[in-house]
Each structure stands twice: as C-alpha cells, then as structure tokens.
Amino acid sequence: MTVELEPKDRLIVALDCGATEAVQLAHALRATVRWLKVGMTLFYQEGPAIVMELQRLGYDIFLDLKLHDIPHQVSGAAHAVSGLGVQMLTVHASGGEAMMRSACEGARSGAVLTGVKPPSVIAVTVLTSMGDDGLSSIGVDRPAEAQVPLLVDLAMSSGVDGIVCSPLESAGVRASIGPNALVVTPGVRPEWSEKGDQNRITTPGDALSRGASHLVIGRPITAASSPVEAARRIIAEMEGATR
C-alpha cells in the first residue's frame, strides 16, 4: 500500500507556529503540499477550529496529540478528534495495549458517528528526547535500542496502523512491521538546510530508502525564505530517491 504513494503524498509539513502563521503557510503551500501536521501547541491554543480551517483549504491532517491516559479517556479523546475527519492521530505506545486498542476503537466510533473515514492511529515509541538515562530514571532498565522494538511489537499487536520513529530506527521498524504499515519519521533535513536542534537526522532520500512511508518536515520549509520553493525542492529530492 505505502509503496504506491507518490512523493507528494509522503511529505507532512509540521506547523509548529501560531494560528496566523499556520494559516498563511497553509494558503501559500496549497498547490504544493498535501499534508499538514497540527501538534499540541496549535491544537490546544486554537482547538478544532484550526483543523477545520486547514481542511477547508483541502489538506489532509496529521493530528499529533500523542494521547496517553487511561483507556476510557483515550477512547473518548480519539472519538472526539476523529469526528473531525483527520487522517492520522498519534498515541504513546508506552500507554499499553489496552490504551492503544481503546484509541483505535474510539477513532473508529468517532469517525462512524460523523460519517468520515477513521484516521490511521500511529504509535510513538520512545521519545527521541529520552536517552538511556532518562529511561532508567523512570524505571526502564533496558536501553532505548531494546525498548523501541518491544514497544513496536506491542503497538502493532494492539491494532495500530503504524509507528512514529527516528529515520535512523526506521529500517529496523520497517523490517519488523512489514511493507504495508505506516512508518512516519521526523528528524529529516535536506543537505542545504539548517540542522537546528535536530541531531539524529538524515536526508529525505535516505529516510525513504530506510523504509519511511511519510516524512515530517517543519523548519526547513516553514522557516525558508520561500516555503513553496523549499517544499518543491524536497519533493524533487524524494522523487529522485523513489525512481
């Protein structure tokens, strides 16, 4: 399934900014980009209205809320936001199997209620901000490189549609979850862009060749002097890598 996607369908632009700038960028990128990522900051400030405004412009929405709570609450949250007709929704794999199953059920029931397609529910394993010391401090005594595969297996057996991971982990994740599940990777930087605060990064072409189905890219596009030109350049690089 994912192998049939065109490069343009695999690029998700992260809108980590206020609503005014997000809407300006959305207008500018309309003819070039298909997907936008709305994270907690924008969603908690603006609520469902910002999602609906971006949808009116024709975008698919990756709603990156990283749900993590008791199953009943996560089911309710997934139900509520899936009714908006978003295409992807994130949960934390560390919330456990029952929580991830509830997220999937809530996503389905919310979509059915409003007559939209349910979103793909995708699981975040270990936050890339969390090193081995951080894991140890919360009582996880195995390194991230062992914790990630454990959570990937748990997530996939809970019925989620894919995984969010670093592009440096994506080849292993792809090998373990098969060709059809989603592998969504942030931490992508074209050679010509600033690295910013991202350390464990790779290029768009490399991320695709390591098994990513979708790339999340923010500042190389949103902070560029011409976001449209930057997005076109990245899509051209992705086309080169998938040919």
Q: Report, in Å, the least distance between residue 238 CB and ligand C5P.
A: 15
Nearer to ligand C5P, 17 or 23 (CB): 17
Instruction: Work out the angle between the directed axes of helices 48-56 and 19-29 (0-180°, nearest 10).
Output: 20
Q: Report, in Å, the least distance between residue 213 CB and ligand C5P.
A: 15
Q: Tokens 């809407």, residue?
A: 23
Question: Residue 109: what residue type?
Answer: S
Instruction: Report d(CA 207, CA 71) in Å as an integer.
Output: 33
Q: Report, in Å, the least distance between residue 58 CB and ligand C5P.
A: 21
Nearer to ligand C5P, 111 or 123 (CB): 123
Nearer to ligand C5P, 148 or 217 (CB): 217
Instruction: Report d(CA 57, CA 27) in Å as an integer.
Output: 7
| Adjacent-strand bridge partners of 123 | 91, 163
Residue nearest to ligand C5P (CB): 218
Q: Report, in Å, the least distance between residue 197 CB and ligand C5P.
A: 7
The token pair that represents 60 in the structure block: 């698919």
Examine the residue annotation and report whether 66 is marked as an active-site residue of this protein: yes
Q: Tokens 């373990």, residue?
A: 176
Nearer to ligand C5P, 128 or 158 (CB): 128
Residues forming contacts to ligand C5P in the complex (CB under 6 A) are 14, 16, 37, 39, 127-128, 186-187, 196, 198, 216-219
Q: Report, in Å, the least distance between residue 113 CB and ligand C5P.
A: 29
Catalytic pick from 8, 37, 66, 195? 66
72, containing H or E segment: helix 71-82
DSSP for 159-222 reads: T-SEEE--TTTHHHHHHHH-SSSEEEE--B--TTS--TT--S-B-HHHHHHTT-SEEEE-HHHH
Nearer to ligand C5P, 75 or 120 (CB): 120
Residues annotated as catalytic (active site), given as ranges: 66
